[in-house]
Amino acid sequence: MISILIPTFNCNIFPLVNTLYLQCEKSNIDFEILVMDDASTDKQYLQENLRINLLRNCKFQTLEKNIGRSAIRNLLAQNAAAESLLFLDADVMPLRPDFIDEYISKLNLDAEIICGGITYDGVKPKKNENLRYIYGVNREQKSVSKRQNESHFIVSANILILKKCFLEINTMLDNLYGDDLVLSSNIKKKQIKVIHIDNPVIHYGLEDNGKFIKKALQAVETIVTLEKKAFLENDIMPIQKAFIKLNKYHLVNSFSFIVSRFRKTMERNFNSDNPNLFWFDLYRLNYYIQLKKEQNA
């Protein structure tokens, strides 16, 4: 049996659930699809998603209070009937018609986690969504071999994981942005076996540039917060490793001074037709440095 678990917020998730449902029915497998709404504010989506309850073995329920991504995933896992959990984000869609079959064929692999990967549809985005799209294509859309080289780094928008394993590594983040950072850190610390396969979902949920920059900086804040709480080692993420190298050569202050001088230029670039991801890395690293100084972390 497989439990497909999808947290959602202000999103019409019926097309995704229906696609998964039809694939499961065609495969003639024992399955359930559980969708949990994290107190959406747009009631239009709630009406659309209630149709999920009309599908066999599918359940849509809503929470009265927003509890955040890590907490709602924990709740979904606890309610799941199966030991094999397929977590998907609400804003994705399977690339292939045999998406479920591909995961089912891998259930007997010797691994606690199987990652299918993320891809994009190749459609040119709106200008104000350029940064998120280019970041996704260049940083999240990776080949199987590249993902397997750093196997503990996962994108949890599309993962098959054993229930016991998930409940063990899913640290509750109190609505902090950056769950995958902690999951990846815990996977590495506990030496959990991860296998990456070619079974991607298409990511459709592109935020506008301003919202994505805000989320990216929130993820940096999460890193610093989790370091201080000892939930995250201080040398696992690329941004942390870059800071350690700058600190080793006493270049932190010089780096921060230079990047701060060009901050406005960088922000204009992020909203252009061709945003520079290297500049975006420097921009986030500088914010990380500022937070470390402010919090004496």
Mean pLDDT by 10 residues, the chain (297 residues): 97 98 97 97 91 98 92 96 98 97 94 97 90 95 93 94 94 70 89 96 94 94 89 89 96 97 97 96 98 82
pLDDT at 296: 74
Sorted by where each begins, the domain ranges of the chain are: 2-205, 210-295
pLDDT at 176: 66
Q: Tell me the Cα Rg of the chain.
A: 20
pLDDT at 174: 64
Beta strand spans in the chain (E): 2-8, 31-37, 58-62, 84-88, 92-94, 113-115, 118-119, 158-162, 194-196, 201-203
pLDDT at 258: 97
Of 129, 122, 120, which is closest to residue 273 (Cα–Cα)? 129
* Backbone phi, psi, residue 201, to 5°: -110, 150
pLDDT at 124: 86
pLDDT at 229: 83
Q: Which CATH architecture has domain 2-205?
A: Alpha-Beta Complex (3.90)
pLDDT at 17: 99
pLDDT at 217: 95
